[in-house]
Structure 1
């Protein structure tokens, strides 16, 4: 285990990488649905298909990159490669003249995410002090969402000042490059275990509670469509394009502010004490998007959606890392990401069809109901309010 100061500095470094790269990504992400629908003539169904295809490709890579990072102890190299794809993504966006070009760009971006996410999360887990895993993931998420907030604010400025979308794409490259240049400073612990030359998952012996939890995540993600639908919904409720950017900024700020407290609370009171309310908030937020029409109501829903993100992200990754075999934490975190991505593929495609064929409320009714069911299932599996035993040393 790293010394305390080195632990904290390593987690902060990983967080700063995420901050700059997410700043870069969020400078363009909330603009993408507007760019697709306003400039390229894409329908919500096409938007959903683009997000679904991109996320599904990324999801299939997460488990393999997590496993390779565990076995070959090259988590930092995989993290570097994955984050580098973020810059290539912006370059492709600059050249995109149709929705297929945006699809190609999103596939590159999500492929990078698929490569980097599990090894990066494993680095955070590896760098954490015993008993403070939730706080470590919370700190990382706070820096991650702080970068997203800055990026969302810059996206708002670009839209508010009527700058061309491609101008935002060009400027977004700068923070992405800064984030990538920080990665060599991150430390990775290496052990002397011999490499497994053959890719095999036979060593994964997951307990039944973790298996059930992963099953609930997949069920939940079937209704957890891309955030682009939240932005399109706000637009349909009468918000201007620049106001939509501000709503997205508010969501990111809410998540950033609550990330560390929620992670620390999960360390103190148990993961379920944070996860169950998190899924409950999600369900109510999605139902709110179907029911509420006032601008004040929509604003509050974006704040609450940030709270859901903060509650889930740190506590969930901490629980999965704790419940995973010591030598395969990255692999199981990758499996977790893969299930999320497959669910997002299906949910985004279904949401787009529901929006076009039924009405714009249908995807939110579906997601809200699945969110409430997931909250009940997590409470049953983990035992609501029951504090899990402390993790063995990572």
Structure 2
């Protein structure tokens, strides 16, 4: 319900030559929240809980209640201060009685090929919990894993801002292919990693993959379709991601169980690299608009 309308709204409210930066900024703020939110929750638990190591149920209830405050504030800001650009008028009756249009009819082959490759790449993109598990098998403590996770998100924040701007200047497809290849390289690295320093480096580089690819993918969706198709296009994009993200983790878990972490990471890396090469071959880069 949230993702497709939000992405379409972002695409509609910025110029095409700044769309990558806008999506990069959105991803950077999302990753910032992923770092700050748990840290605030941890500090509040230390403040409220009588036993920091074993908080009671009512301590968690209080934390969730406090966490609802910024969520409600965001809803209020969206409801009263965010304005949509001009749209063609539709009656409320038409809007609510018309059937959903999650269909590929009306979209060109370039966008359809992009969706297929997003699904293929996502099939290689298993849960990040496997990366933490890999680090743990190399001797990382739970506390160190938390620091590793925080560093990953800091890397995501910084690289998302840079990557979004680069996609506006260098082209979305180039950034996506670079990000997917970087992802494949990281996973191949995790297949053979043997020491702690290499794990830290791989997590840092893994964050850069997000910065290169996440915002550029969303901006490319808007570039490949007509303005009136954007809402449906983002719905299809999220569908392509959603139907393959669970099988990706199931595949990774099965390979890890049967043959161990090295083959599992190699297969995921190979899938990611294949998607990157096919992206370069099959998806045509849209013409980049020239700034006025």
TM-score when normalising by structure 1? 0.64
Indicate the larger mover: 300-309 or 230-239. Answer: 230-239
Q: What secondary structure, in the 3-state scheme, does the structure 2 residue paired with 1:132 have? A: helix
- On the 8 A contact 2:155/2:208 being kept in 1, the answer is yes
Residue 284, structure 1, aligned to residue 176, structure 2: no
Cα distance in structure 2, aligned partners of 1:173 and 1:350 = 37
Q: 1:339 aligns with which of 229, 232, 240?
A: 240
For residue 76 of structure 2, what is the aligned residue in structure 1?
A: 184
For residue 126 of structure 1, what is the aligned residue in structure 2? Answer: 12
Alignment of 1:1-394 (within 5 A): 115-151=1-37, 153=39, 163-164=53-54, 171=63, 174-186=66-78, 187-189=82-84, 191-194=87-90, 195-196=94-95, 197-201=97-101, 204-382=105-283, 388-390=287-289
Do the aligned residues in 2 keep the contact of 1:204 with 1:328 (CA within 8 Å)?
Answer: no
Runs of 4+ off more than 6 Å: 155-159
> 1:289 and 1:358 mapped to 2: Cα distance?
15
Q: Tell me whether 146-155 or 250-259 shows the greater mean CA deviation.
A: 146-155
Question: Alpha-carbon deviations, 1:19-69, whole Å to 9, x = none?
Answer: xxxxxxxxxxxxxxxxxxxxxxxxxxxxxxxxxxxxxxxxxxxxxxxxxxx
Deviation at 1:336, TM superposition (A): 0.8
Q: Report how many aligned residue pairs link the two structures.
A: 274
Q: How many angstroms does 1:387 deviate by?
A: 6.6
Q: Which runs of no fewer than 5 residues in structure 2 stay unpaired?
A: none
- Equivalent position SS for 1:260: helix
Cα offset, 1:173, TM superposition: 5.0
Distance 2:25 2:167 in 1: 13
SS at match of 1:298: helix
- The residue aligned with 1:106 is none
Show the counterpart of 1:78. none
CA contact (8 A) 2:156 2:210 kept: yes
In structure 1, distance between residues paired with 2:272 and 2:41: 29
**Separation in structure 2 between the aligned mates of residue 307 and residue 155 of structure 1, nearest angstrom:** 26
Q: Which of 1 and 2 has higher RCO (CA within 8 Å, sep 6+)?
A: 2
Residue 168 of structure 1 and its aligned partner are, at CA, apart by 6.5
Cα distance in 2 for residues equivalent to 1:200 and 1:172: 34
Judge conservation of contact 2:223–2:286 (CA < 8 Å) in 1. Answer: no
SS in 2 for 1:274: helix
Q: Structure 1's 183 and 126: CA in aligned 2 closer, same or farther, altered over 3 A?
A: farther
Q: Report if aligned partners of 1:156, 1:245 keep a CA contact under 8 Å in 2.
A: no
**Structure 1 position 331, deviation (Å):** 1.6
Determine if contact 1:218/1:343 at 8 Å carries over to the other structure: yes
Question: How much has 1:146 moved relative to structure 2?
Answer: 1.1
The 1-side partners of 2:70 and 2:100 are apart by 36
Rounded Cα–Cα distance in structure 2 between residues aligned with 1:291 and 1:144: 31
Q: Using the TM superposition, give the Cα deviation of residue 128 of structure 1 relative to its aligned residue in structure 2, in angstroms.
A: 1.4
Shift in CA distance, 178/301, structure 1 to aligned 2, threshold 3 Å: same
| TM-score for both structures, normalised by structure 2 | 0.85
**Structure number with larger C-alpha Rg:** 2
* 5+ long unaligned stretches in structure 1: 1-114
